[in-house]
Structure 1
Amino acid sequence: MDESLRLYSYWRSSAAYRVRIGLNLKGLAYDTVPVHLLRDGGEQHQDAFRAANPQRLVPVLQHGGHVQRQSLAILEYLDETWPEPPLLPRDPGERQRVRALALAVACDIHPLNNLRVLQYLERRWQVPQPEREEWIRHWIGEGFAALETMLAGDPATGRYCHGDAPGLADCALVPQVYSARRFGVDLGPYPTLVRIEQACLALPAFAAASPDAQPDRPA
């Protein structure tokens, strides 16, 4: 039975970055299949990739003959299939907290800054790049302000988002901080987020998942 893992990824995709972190934390070997989101109008729109994901989004994880979609669903699949080390706590209340933190990024911050949203603003409404980037900074700032309060004010926060072991929420947070830095967001008001990010980046699993470490990163 084929148990190989293949990750359809783009080096700078925040969602793919999350899954790379999760795979690395689990110590799982995988093959990267690059999907260039800009070349030739976006390789995600080609028929071959649309067959794997009708949403035309990365990441997609192929595990043997099974195709997995949606980054947080993929991460929970990894956690259920390879339980150690866990990405989610065992206690239901703690699991809810970690999921809520991850979803605050994946559902409330990232979608507003997704490539297809920015392309729509540009192509349909002719929004200039400076205004598009201000849009990005505004919505990241809104989300980060809430996350900073949620994390700084909760004794469950430890070295990482939840306690002293990295998990699902850290898989979501670190790529979003990378994106914030890319677009010049002032991170001064979010010391807890930056502290957690720096603790994560010191771990090999996070360093190896970084966009700058990916095989499809442009020279």
Structure 2
Amino acid sequence: MIIPARGRSIISVYSVSDSYDSHRIRFLLKTKNISSVDIIEVDPLDPPEDLIHINPYHTTPTVVDRDLALYGTTIITEYLDERYPHPPLMPPDPVTRAKLRLYTYRIEKDWLSYIPVLENGTPDEKNTAIEELTAKLNGAVDLFSETKFFLSSDMTLVDTCLAPFLWRLEHYGFDWEELPKPIRQYAHMIFRKESFKQSVSEQEREMRFDF
């Protein structure tokens, strides 16, 4: 497959400006301080021909790095962490690395799975999702209290997964002040990072007005 060339950028990222998954990749790129990036904004209802050509599912985010096209958010994050190893966002120890990957999987299954309903559900469905997810977050509060970052003294891929999600909670209808204090403190610490601020699109900036 011939990957369409787009100027001199090493990496091209097909992104939707208000999408959680796209934000997750943008935050990771900023955390890695990867500057040679071409962000290509996509209308998900009318994907461009080059995206259709390289991704059979026409989904975002899609990343093109030289002659390699990748889709699937978790696949992209792990590739970028290995392709650009500094700063490392996973520990060298295979056991600890596996545990953090397992937590990422559980976050995706137990928390992020509510995003479609929170964004597109009926009012009753959204209220039910908020109640259920609030209970799950309350039950996980200790995970945000043990270390500076999520179960780690250093920032990891789990944090790049969590932060764009937490950024959206008020927008989804959650009462931010009712969330456990350790979760809010953790989120504020990430939100204040310059790499996170730079990753937020104009549309995403409107989701919160306190940062």
Match of 2:40 in 1: 33
- Distance in 2 (CA, whole Å) between partners of 1:208 and 1:64 is 24
Of 170, 182, 192 in structure 2, the residue corresponding to residue 192 of structure 1 is 182
Displacement, 1:113?
2.0
Match of 2:199 in 1: 209
Displacement, 1:67?
0.6
Match of 2:63 in 1: 61
Identity in percent: 18
Once the two structures are overlaid, the 10-residue window that deviates more, 61-70 or 162-171, is 162-171
Match of 1:144 in 2: 137
Displacement, 1:176?
1.1
The 1:110–1:192 alpha-carbon spacing in structure 2 relative to 1, beyond 3 Å, is same
Once the two structures are overlaid, the 10-residue window that deviates more, 102-111 or 6-15, is 102-111
Residue correspondence of structure 1 range 5-20 to structure 2 within 5 A: 5-20=11-26
- Distance in 1 (CA, whole Å) between partners of 2:175 and 2:204 is 26
CA contact (8 A) 1:166 1:200 kept: no
- Distance in 1 (CA, whole Å) between partners of 2:144 and 2:58 is 33
- Distance in 2 (CA, whole Å) between partners of 1:136 and 1:47 is 36
- Give the structure-2-normalised TM-score: 0.80
Task: Name the Cα RMSD after superposition.
Answer: 2.9
CA contact (8 A) 1:159 1:199 kept: no
Match of 1:114 in 2: 116
Displacement, 1:182?
0.8
Question: Structure 2 counterpart of 1:208, which letter?
Answer: Q
- Distance in 1 (CA, whole Å) between partners of 2:24 and 2:140 is 17
Does the residue aligned with 2:96 lie in a helix, a strand or coil?
Answer: helix
- Distance in 1 (CA, whole Å) between partners of 2:185 and 2:53 is 41
Residue correspondence of structure 1 range 93-112 to structure 2 within 5 A: 93-112=95-114
CA contact (8 A) 1:8 1:60 kept: yes
Q: Deviation string for 1:2-55 (max 9, x for gaps)?
A: 771011111111111111111111111211111123xxxx124x6653433333
Count of equivalent residues: 198
The 1:139–1:23 alpha-carbon spacing in structure 2 relative to 1, beyond 3 Å, is farther
Gapped regions of structure 1 (runs ≥ 5): 122-128
Does the residue aligned with 1:43 lie in a helix, a strand or coil?
Answer: coil
Does the residue aligned with 1:140 lie in a helix, a strand or coil?
Answer: helix
CA contact (8 A) 2:163 2:187 kept: yes
Gapped regions of structure 2 (runs ≥ 5): none
- Distance in 2 (CA, whole Å) between partners of 1:108 and 1:51 is 33
CA contact (8 A) 1:177 1:197 kept: yes
Does the residue aligned with 1:98 lie in a helix, a strand or coil?
Answer: helix
